[in-house]
Structure 1
Amino acid sequence: MKRRDFFTGAAASLALGPMAAFGKENGSHQPLKNKFAAKNIIFMVSDGMSTGTLNMADILLQRKEGRESAWIKLYTEKTGRRAFMETSSANALVTDSAAGSSAWGGGRKVPNGNLNVNADGTFNKPILQKFKEAGKSVGCVTSVTITHATPAGFCINNKSRGDESEIADQYLDLKFDVMMGGGAEFFQADKRKDKKDLFGDYEKAGYKLARNRDDLMALAGLQKPIMGVFCEGALPYSLDTFEDAELRKAVPSLPEMTRKTLELLSKNPKGFAVQIEGGKVDWAAHSNDAGGLLYDQIAFDESIKIALDFAAKDKETLVIITTDHGNSNPGLFGSNKQFDLFQKYKHTNNWIMGDLKEMPTASQLIERIEFAQGYAIKTAEAEKLIGLLGTKNEKGLYVANKPLFREFGAIQSRYTGLGWASMDHSADYVELAMFGPGSENLNPFVKNTELHNFMLGVTGVTS
């Protein structure tokens, strides 16, 4: 069946009414009771994805592989619904990921840094807890730490997104069915300040642990809840993983985790709800790392295709695709020839600067960049970068040396034509796409908080 055939005619939309699944913040809503209600929800987040990121990833795929991205194909084939979404938090026009995910997860705007905790200290019940109580299988998948703000916003209440060790502890009693990502340091006794062996506690509580790609591929059922933690910190950038056979063997990709998770969760006859996050898109934007940004967006898009293919076959699954906020607002300002350099990229800026064993000479750095990205910078540019190596006085989010990566991004722009507005989140309205039953109720413009009741309404789950 073609995806365009999946949708019904206008009569169904008129019968339901365009606002049938929307409600006030964390307020009442009317469940959709009709044959088009969804049994399953796949909520996909390309964290920190400015519109330019989506555009350029699609252009890169078209020029390199002769195909559209799965996300843009929803638009060109008119098989999905599209909207703009505002992204503010309770205390700022520019949200962070904790408040952004909590808006969806708890249905209310909370202050930046909070996870489903209001300014007055009261809690908003996270949506995966609601779906779990309704009998559905639930989980989160991410390319960063599983305890990070975006997955946590669907799962728990915490005043501080930064306490990932506590968040790892909070997950234990929830018994969510599938949780996958990085962040082993928040579970290991030798890395935690309290020396608690959380991995041991998870096993005692009846969880199945998956610690590497082989463990992931061996998973075959949901007799036990699954906690998959595949590395310390975030998963490696997709671009760097392509060139490293050991990494590919040890750490699963976001598409691999997505495919396995849908296979596992779909065994529940009552349905499932899952959040899938391309978290490294945000991290690359914060460090103005163009190769990391574009190729992790493409990895996320491969996960979109897996989700859409599942939904087209299943016919009972609503796929929601969006981002929590823009970040750094990258755009293409150069020539075709400049942009085509990205087709030759082997490694990210993070690999170039982060894996240095000793201080390089200018010629060594020029050679390293040319090997990794296919262009040779000038000696003066290399010397300026070397002068910033070791600078630690302006620490950026996920960037140990913000001045270095800001300068590298600026130099790189001269060769690739990809420019940056900043190294921080933006207040942009963002892309929101839907495919599947219930998507016909999507309004052209929504507040981020409205998606909470939309998901509950389209599945017929009461809050």
Structure 2
Amino acid sequence: MKRRLFFKRGLLASIGTAMAPSFSLLGNTLKNQGKAKNVIFMVSDGMSMGTLSMADLLHRRKNDTPSTWVSLYQQGKVARAIMDTASANSIVTDSAAAGSSWGGGMRVNNGAINVGPMGEKPMPILQKFKNAGKSVGCVTTVPVTHATPASFCVNVPDRNDQAGIAEEYLKLRFDLWLGGGAKYFDSQKRTDGKDMFGQFAAAGYQVVKDKDALKKLNPGSGPVLGTFAEDALPYTIDRNNQQLLGDQVPSLAEMTQKAIGLLGTNDRGFMLQVEGGKVDWAAHGNDTPALLYDQLDFDEAVKVAMDFAEQDGETLVIITTDHGNGEPGVFYGDKADDNFDSLLGVGCSNEWVLNQIDSNFSPKQVIELLDVHQQVRLAVPEARLILDKYQNLEKTGLYNPRKLPFELLATYQERDFSVHWANNEHSGVFVELSVFGPGSDKLPGMMENYKLHDFILETAEI
């Protein structure tokens, strides 16, 4: 397949894509028949329907073309369903339980990874594919040891044991992990001092830590562990606008392209899990710029997978999310169009801009910072309220450990972007499920999340 260049430079490079040519519905039906040699499972973590809608809207207003995911609906290329996302102990799931429903084929309690309420430990799906002689791997924009990739790989009672998950990965001898999370492999960052990078290298893994090293990998060079950030990868909007990040950190599409190239040399096929994990993190932070550009980054990866699958003819592609988060949307107003269009000129995430502020800032400095980088214009009392939040930042938390004033800033940005957030937590709404390739004709219109596990196995005849 032809290789493409992704996200070369500039704020809007991530959404300047050409649409793949359509083919007839008859051709699509023929491709749906038979066994899936390969499976690509794509997850935009925490993607609410409003996120998909706004990202498509942003893409259209820049390029006059739909996003890849929505174009698949418009062209009739995918089967489409809605999916119930509940966990074993709640109608509102976390990512560990949601991923385990796919990975292990059963619902588990929130916080657990493929460990059931009665201690059950179903074999994760990538282990099943590996045992069938196929190549397997995970790609993500968050730590490779985070809940979603881990849920395809291991059985652990606590999703927070990412250092332990790194050790479990070594035992599996999977073919590829690409993403963030270097601190869980680095002897200088682990509390136990174990050199997991060294142990992976000794086991024959190619250990890569920047984009250039990733590009140089060739099929047949052995299994790969790639970590491109200490924790999660930077948001797409920051990577696109900061040259150092752009030079060092690959996009999700670039990692997906490389992963398919490496795994696809196996004559027996492969299964690849791809996660746009920071869509969820942006939703937890009500970070509109980060959310939409990371969703478009995921959309670029969808195009990579679809380009391969359409040419290959034996690949099942699943495109979905594990749950909603924050339930954002663009809302009516006299200036809604112009306000939303201002997101085309935003130069950074809320996370980046809030981390530039400290308690010594004046209100004027806060106002200038937001105006220059985001075209967001605060009043002096609003800037003072933001500064008040910087008096006691160092606290604990999974997605916002410093307790930066994300929610407060988002309420002010609503005036500038016309984007409103309902909350900053997961929701129990039904979600989008799209399927292309062998088996897609058998997709029911409504599916419970855990049933997708067997759907994949049956389609791949494993």
Q: TM-score by structure 2 length?
A: 0.92
**Residue aligning to 1:32:** none
Structure 2 equivalent of residue 347 of structure 1: 348
> Do the aligned partners of 1:6 and 1:436 also contact (CA within 8 Å) in 2?
no
| Aligned counterparts, 1:242-261, within 5 A | 242-261=240-259
Q: Deviations over 1:119-147 (max 9, x none)?
A: 11120110000000101110000000000
For residues 11 and 310 of structure 1, the distance between their equivalents in structure 2, rounded to whole angstroms, comes to: 17
CA offset at residue 5 of structure 1? Answer: 3.4
Partner of 1:419 in structure 2?
A: 420
User: Map of 1:71-220 to 2, 5 A cutoff?
Assistant: 71-220=69-218
Separation (CA, whole Å) in 2 of partners of 1:60 and 1:147: 31
Q: What is the identity, as a one-letter code, of the residue corresponding to 1:284?
A: A
Return the match for 1:5 from 24, 29, 34: 24
Unpaired runs of 5+ residues, structure 1, are 14-34
Q: Give deviations 1:347-396, integer Å, cap 9, x for gaps.
A: 01101111336631111111111111113211111111111124448755
Displacement, 1:2?
5.1
CA distance in 2, matches of 1:341, 1:49: 22
Give the Cα–Cα distance (whole angstroms) in 1 for the partners of residues 316 and 25 of structure 2: 11
Cα distance in 1 between the residues matched to 2:143 and 2:154? 15
SS in 1 for 2:40: strand
Aligned residue pairs total 440
C-alpha contact 2:37 2:269 (8 A) present in aligned 1: yes
Q: Distance in 1 between matches of 2:215 and 2:357?
A: 33
Q: CA deviation at 1:292?
A: 0.4
**1:107–1:124: 8 Å Cα contact kept in structure 2?**
yes
- Counterparts of 2:132 and 2:198 in 1: how far apart (Å)? 29
Pick closer, same or farther for the CA change 1:38–1:6 going to 2, 3 Å. Answer: farther
More moved, 418-427 vs 329-338: 329-338
* Structure 2 equivalent of residue 30 of structure 1: none
Alignment partner of 1:305 out of 298, 303, 310: 303
Shift of 1:224: 1.3
Q: Which residue of 1 aligns with 2:49?
A: 51
* Partner in structure 2 of residue 63 of structure 1: 61
Please name the residue that 1:406 is paired with.
407
Contact preservation (8 Å) 2:279, 2:295:
yes
> Contact between 2:252 and 2:301, CA under 8 Å: does it hold in 1?
yes
Using the TM superposition, give the Cα deviation of residue 400 of structure 1 relative to its aligned residue in structure 2, in angstroms.
Answer: 2.6
Extract structure 1 runs of 4+ deviating beyond 4 A: 6-13, 393-396
What are the equivalent positions in structure 2 for 1:388-407 lying under 5 Å apart? 388-392=389-393, 396-402=397-403, 404-407=405-408
**TM superposition score normalised by structure 1:** 0.92
Secondary structure, aligned partner of 1:339: helix
Cα 1:272–1:12 shift into 2, 3 Å: closer
SS in 2 for 1:209: strand
Change (3 A) 1:49 1:12: closer
Separation in 2, partners of 1:297, 1:10: 29
Identity among equivalent positions (%) equals: 46
The one-letter amino acid of 2:455's match is: F
Using the alignment, how far apart are the partners of 1:136 and 1:11 within structure 2? 24
Cα separation, partners in 2 of 1:200 and 1:393, compared to 1, 3 Å: closer
Structure 1 residues 343 and 390: alpha-carbon distance in aligned structure 2, compared to 1, 3 A threshold: same
Deviations 1:414-442 (A, max 9, x none): 21110001110000100001111211111
Give the corresponding residue for 1:366. 367
Letter in 2 for 1:373: Q
| Whole-angstrom distance in 1 between the partners of 2:42 and 2:68 | 13
1:390 and 1:401 in contact (8 A); partners too = no
Match of residue 381 from structure 1: 382
Q: Give the secondary structure class of the aligned counterpart of 1:166.
A: helix
Give the C-alpha shift of residue 203 in structure 1: 0.8
Counterpart of 1:300, as a letter, is F
RMSD of Structure 2 on Structure 1 (CA)? 1.7
For 1:443, the equivalent position in structure 2 comes to: 444
Partner residue of 1:19? none
Q: Between 49-58 and 431-440, report the one with greater CA deviation.
A: 431-440
Q: Which runs of 5+ in 2 are unaligned?
A: 1-19
- Report the alpha carbon displacement of residue 166 of structure 1 after superposing the two structures with TM: 0.2
Specify the SS of the correspondent of 2:69.
helix
Matched residue SS, 1:456? helix
Indicate the SS of the match to 1:125.
coil
Distance 1:276 1:12, change over 3 A: closer
The 1:394–1:227 alpha-carbon spacing in structure 2 relative to 1, beyond 3 Å, is: closer
